[in-house]
Structure 1
């Protein structure tokens, strides 16, 4: 087990600053120097093939490092490549850069066509370059052996730059190995809509058996996975009625059809298709509020034939007033509705510099040694970003900066670190079956950040495994939130967190969770089809797909969280008990004086209360958090969790364990659930006893209570309220020698009131 200090957030002091005058957006990262080589084209090369041409390609080698290669241009003596190579200065192991041209040969060794060499000390340094250096023609020189069969020229540009250079994103990069799936990429989530289908009725259906009352239902399907079915119509006629709503998730561009199948249950589980309706999603109406769209009648078809077989009455529309959930509401990053007409202007900008990581754990083996190929994924709103992969490094340095618009400060940025298991996949190749395993995750709530302040911290990367919590490294980030309008941001705090449609016509909790799972599946499939793909396991990890699965550990977390919430009330109760017990006579006397003042001047009660809260808040300002929040292993109950509980948490659904293990876990779950059941029962009993005061379920108790109420009403009418308050206060604060250890009379009376507990089987 790691010591607690290893799980803590650490302050860092990276050397941040503008990478270049025209690259203000790169002021949250450190400057990284690269040697850029742009290979544009060549002309008048020697023909090495029998057909009077060559298959040329170029090797770029810096020092003793492994050379980078351009693509091969088939049958050409005037090839065009226009490719850029970026070599990190920290990886350059020599004084020269050598560009050689070769003719690819499948049968024998590749033929040498010439080379150009530059001395690194002679290359003018441009840090950062205002624009890529203009390419020039260079004459190809023969090899060291004096090869006379060399001619032609090559157009090149060689310069020093930084990661802010315009050519960096498209360049072959030495620290990522130059592989296709290792480059940085920005992705956008597909735009998701809720599709509402109201199946109203059908008319003039033609069942196969005319002497039998039909049992008609409608099966509604969108895509291959979203299938819902109406109940069987209560009126068993040829014109059934349902008026049943269904909600689906659809993503732009709308290329699918909504398929409605009218079915008649003819016996057992057998169903006969009476007709089908196919509706292209492109033809569906859209709405931004709760106003009803027009209904339509659709003729039923069967087996592609169009003779009249009845018709179906539907109301179908896209609900643009909702926000389609694909994240948990606890760490949501976007709350805007789907319809852009309802969007409001952004109120700030969130910038993040993904600097580096250190002490990453080995994630796989390559060539008989342990290694890690790490990259980061950040998600906020609809925008996903992925850094380049730093090959074979336990302390990768990315120094990439990204920006998001902020529309709501009470949202969460998520950054995950992954090991790339597809470092050699290329476009058009069959994708390997490995999974990009997570190394850790960081969440930062925007509202916890001060405006225009740069936070530089090293976040612990924690992963929960079957063996327990494990620290897999540290991720260094630079984060800044800039607010464009303070008034607009303050106004947002008084508006509902979600769009109005979630409150005017709310969706059920279970329905929302089902729709969220569908939305996650759609997003993961779309991003997996991008080039290069953002894989499904990465999307699922970032969106916490299994956050609602049962876990003994999470149950303990919520239990201790509840205790933490109640700790304030418990502390106040204990303080008041100490006052009543006169443990500190001076404090008790001061409380008596304050109590008498408030009773005599009741108009001071509320001002005193609010002033007291103001003073507490002002005092706590000195102890405010100085760093963003981070994943807390202790809060997550991950430091001392039992191995069997972790094994249960990582079990599949349905379970893959033996019956004996399942039985043991079931018995344990029953024990925990019994405690929860007892607590909920006690809370319900207290509420039922309150109701019993006036319900005459206990005639004697109700008679006593209403008699007490009558006497109290008379006394309170006669005796001034201040006198009553003073008497009650003095009685509550009386000295311990006047106290009795038995419960007070009101508590005894309340506990004797009846509840429904004795009526439960």
Structure 2
């Protein structure tokens, strides 16, 4: 990969091309149809100074054009006037080694629009061909086609435990309403408690509920707003509390306990005056007891546990030492189909692992999509996945970028200190079926610092232990497992939205559709017969042990015969070709059926995931887990061969668990001693 560097220093004796006699010069550098850059505009100056550097990538020996154009313009409101221009042939541009001293700029006389030279205006420019190792690369103008590295923020778990509220006063049109609930909002995230009935004697509502939101560091999304609402639906806000996110304490120790606080509530309708005296009437008596903290013991991310790429918690103090590093070489993309009209494809890759996102350079107008870029990430757990996706960049700035395909590489399947060079197929699932869009050629190598620390990670869970001791999505409802899965999906969606918002604020931004595709958000979670076929076999094995032993019967409570809706009865007695003429009602029934089947599919998918983990154990894909399993089986075989069966039973620590003939009590043998 080569780079064309153009350093524009300053100009002198620029002529007046404006009728008003003022000059606002700036410089435009063009290298082909898609590589161009602009300097800042200097107001009313005939001897401006810019001192800006531009870097344009291109393949070795494959320049997009034969020359480079440097033009000086006078910025106007209607039309920018040309002051002068320069042209450099690519074959005449010198090539500079990174070990050479910097190339000094040279004064060049500007040519007018007709290509004629003038003795007065001139431009101080340095132009050369170098590489990414050039010291001028870090100060070069940030083109949208050069490689970029992004650092994703750390996501914290914002936990709000709402205990109770006292002194609740409901006025106005909701004076007779006794049901009250609380709502916590942070940006676009909203969580609500269940509605409870207010105790009329004490004007108190008790919830004892835990609400979980996602906050990104640094915390500038906004303020945490807790509202007390009376009435059904949206209701009416009768009390409100605003807490700055930066003022909430961070919690990263299991032994640290955060005490709840009583905080007064403010009425959103009554005027609030600074320094006013509370007269003990109205909403000034309302207060709420809650506990708020930023919990850094959890891992909050957009990926599921089976496809996670960074299992570390948010608090840096809880991070375990790294066990090694992974090197990724993005070679080329082959087999891509051209668009309509044989127009060229502008492709780039986005590898993601941990907190580090990378966008490679964009191959402009190229038939051979060759990247030849290498990146390195720190590895903290081998049970992680490296994601690499290919996108197509549209020519228009505001147009969306189209995904081509994605590759997932499980680090646990790689041997250490070995280079894997392989061509991965890019497959996209469309409504018409699976389509192979091309192939991505990658080179991967994983290196470890200590084999002992690496093997020790196999004895620990993937996520922090707090996820299994105190799950975030804990609920006490009847459908515990399904509700927990739904809450975890909501947390992952919130994390993906925050990542897209933060990465979109960087300069240059990483587009939201790119982040959504890398995080696999926006995927239809409704019922799919294709996904259901993968889990039928495991579902049959699970139900074998639960097969009924008695005669079939109808459970009145289980079938919910006592609380049926009329529409449900009408749907049940309807024929296969529906007799209903209401298209909206039929669509509602169809969507409801898909929603219920989607929940069932989520549960069955989790069972299938456990089956895939067991299958990976017996398929010998992980070389380190294979060695551990073989060593364990060898030790078990040696123990079973060397230790007699009767001796093992006699050494049982619990006498009551021993067989009858090995118990020490002689009275157990009828007629005498042992």
TM-score for the superposition, normalised by structure 2: 0.70
Q: Is the 8 A contact 2:94 2:128 kept in 1?
A: yes
Q: Is the 8 A contact 2:170 2:177 kept in 1?
A: no
Residue 33 of structure 1 corresponds to which residue in structure 2? Answer: 2
The counterpart of 2:520, out of the listed 544, 555, 560, is 544
The counterpart of 2:62, out of the listed 62, 68, 91, is 91
Structure of greater Rg: 1
Structure 1 portions without partners, runs of 5+? 1-31, 173-177, 426-431, 566-655, 681-715, 720-761
Residue 196 in structure 1 maps to residue 172 in structure 2: no
The counterpart of 1:387, out of the listed 335, 356, 360, is 360
Provide the rounded CA distance (Å) in 2 between the counterparts of 1:70 and 1:108. 16
- 1:192-226 deviation line (CA, Å, top 9, x unaligned): 11111111122233343999794333233222331
Residue 156 of structure 1 corresponds to which residue in structure 2? Answer: 125
Q: Is the 8 A contact 2:390 2:403 kept in 1?
A: yes
Once the 2 structures are TM-superposed, how far is the Cα of residue 512 of structure 1 from its aligned partner?
1.8
Residue 587 of structure 1 corresponds to which residue in structure 2? Answer: none
SS in 1 for 2:120: coil
Provide the rounded CA distance (Å) in 2 between the counterparts of 1:326 and 1:501. 18
The counterpart of 1:248, out of the listed 209, 213, 220, is 213
Residue 223 in structure 1 maps to residue 187 in structure 2: yes
Once the 2 structures are TM-superposed, how far is the Cα of residue 337 of structure 1 from its aligned partner?
0.9
Provide the rounded CA distance (Å) in 2 between the counterparts of 1:269 and 1:109. 58
Once the 2 structures are TM-superposed, how far is the Cα of residue 272 of structure 1 from its aligned partner?
4.6
Once the 2 structures are TM-superposed, how far is the Cα of residue 390 of structure 1 from its aligned partner?
1.8
Once the 2 structures are TM-superposed, how far is the Cα of residue 152 of structure 1 from its aligned partner?
4.1
Residue 625 of structure 2 corresponds to which residue in structure 1? Answer: none
Provide the rounded CA distance (Å) in 2 between the counterparts of 1:144 and 1:250. 56
* Distance change in 2, residues 1:240/1:666 (3 Å): closer
Provide the rounded CA distance (Å) in 2 between the counterparts of 1:317 and 1:480. 40
Provide the rounded CA distance (Å) in 2 between the counterparts of 1:167 and 1:560. 61
- Structure-to-structure mapping, 1:392-431, within 5 angstroms: 392-421=365-394, 423-425=395-397
Residue 96 of structure 2 corresponds to which residue in structure 1? Answer: 126
Once the 2 structures are TM-superposed, how far is the Cα of residue 541 of structure 1 from its aligned partner?
1.3
Residue 497 in structure 1 maps to residue 497 in structure 2: no
Q: Is the 8 A contact 1:320 1:338 kept in 2?
A: yes
Q: Is the 8 A contact 2:183 2:190 kept in 1?
A: no
Residue 479 of structure 1 corresponds to which residue in structure 2? Answer: 444
- 1:641-667 deviation line (CA, Å, top 9, x unaligned): xxxxxxxxxxxxxxx999599879979
Residue 305 in structure 1 maps to residue 305 in structure 2: no
TM-score for the superposition, normalised by structure 1: 0.62
Q: Is the 8 A contact 1:275 1:309 kept in 2?
A: no
Q: Is the 8 A contact 2:191 2:211 kept in 1?
A: no
Residue 288 of structure 1 corresponds to which residue in structure 2? Answer: 252
- 1:397-438 deviation line (CA, Å, top 9, x unaligned): 2222222111111110111111113x443xxxxxx2x32111
Provide the rounded CA distance (Å) in 2 between the counterparts of 1:259 and 1:109. 50
- 1:105-161 deviation line (CA, Å, top 9, x unaligned): 78889545364756735x54334x236733323241657988463324432223232
Provide the rounded CA distance (Å) in 1 between the counterparts of 2:83 and 2:432. 56
Provide the rounded CA distance (Å) in 1 between the counterparts of 2:194 and 2:588. 40
* Distance change in 2, residues 1:198/1:420 (3 Å): same
Q: Is the 8 A contact 1:70 1:83 kept in 2?
A: no
* Distance change in 2, residues 1:490/1:548 (3 Å): farther
Residue 259 in structure 1 maps to residue 225 in structure 2: yes
Residue 49 in structure 1 maps to residue 18 in structure 2: yes
Once the 2 structures are TM-superposed, how far is the Cα of residue 556 of structure 1 from its aligned partner?
2.0
SS in 1 for 2:126: strand
- Structure-to-structure mapping, 1:573-722, within 5 angstroms: 659=586
SS in 2 for 1:371: coil
Q: Is the 8 A contact 1:463 1:470 kept in 2?
A: yes
Determine which structure has the larger helix proportion and give its number.
1
* Distance change in 2, residues 1:498/1:660 (3 Å): closer
Q: Is the 8 A contact 1:361 1:394 kept in 2?
A: no
* Distance change in 2, residues 1:110/1:217 (3 Å): closer
Q: Is the 8 A contact 1:132 1:167 kept in 2?
A: no
- 1:152-183 deviation line (CA, Å, top 9, x unaligned): 443222323224434446657xxxxx9x5434
SS in 1 for 2:503: helix
Residue 458 of structure 1 corresponds to which residue in structure 2? Answer: 423
- 1:510-565 deviation line (CA, Å, top 9, x unaligned): 32222112212222222223322222222121112227543211222344688999
Q: Higher mean Cα deviation, 530-539 or 89-98?
A: 89-98
The counterpart of 1:488, out of the listed 429, 442, 453, is 453
Provide the rounded CA distance (Å) in 1 between the counterparts of 2:18 and 2:367. 46
Once the 2 structures are TM-superposed, how far is the Cα of residue 445 of structure 1 from its aligned partner?
1.2
Provide the rounded CA distance (Å) in 2 between the counterparts of 1:87 and 1:242. 60
Once the 2 structures are TM-superposed, how far is the Cα of residue 467 of structure 1 from its aligned partner?
1.3
SS in 2 for 1:91: coil
* Distance change in 2, residues 1:216/1:131 (3 Å): farther
* Distance change in 2, residues 1:66/1:335 (3 Å): closer
Once the 2 structures are TM-superposed, how far is the Cα of residue 101 of structure 1 from its aligned partner?
4.8
Residue 526 in structure 1 maps to residue 491 in structure 2: no
Once the 2 structures are TM-superposed, how far is the Cα of residue 336 of structure 1 from its aligned partner?
0.7
Once the 2 structures are TM-superposed, how far is the Cα of residue 473 of structure 1 from its aligned partner?
1.1
Residue 323 in structure 1 maps to residue 299 in structure 2: yes
Provide the rounded CA distance (Å) in 1 between the counterparts of 2:96 and 2:497. 47
* Distance change in 2, residues 1:113/1:556 (3 Å): same
SS in 2 for 1:182: coil
SS in 1 for 2:61: helix
Provide the rounded CA distance (Å) in 2 between the counterparts of 1:381 and 1:182. 24
How many pairs align?
536
Residue 554 of structure 1 corresponds to which residue in structure 2? Answer: 531
Provide the rounded CA distance (Å) in 2 between the counterparts of 1:105 and 1:269. 56
Provide the rounded CA distance (Å) in 1 between the counterparts of 2:225 and 2:470. 25
The counterpart of 1:113, out of the listed 73, 84, 91, is 84
Provide the rounded CA distance (Å) in 2 between the counterparts of 1:491 and 1:219. 44
CA RMSD, Structure 1 to Structure 2 (Å) = 4.0
Residue 634 of structure 1 corresponds to which residue in structure 2? Answer: none
- 1:439-483 deviation line (CA, Å, top 9, x unaligned): 000011122222222222221111111111111111122222221
Once the 2 structures are TM-superposed, how far is the Cα of residue 39 of structure 1 from its aligned partner?
2.3
Provide the rounded CA distance (Å) in 2 between the counterparts of 1:208 and 1:241. 20
Residue 335 in structure 1 maps to residue 304 in structure 2: no
Provide the rounded CA distance (Å) in 2 between the counterparts of 1:463 and 1:125. 42
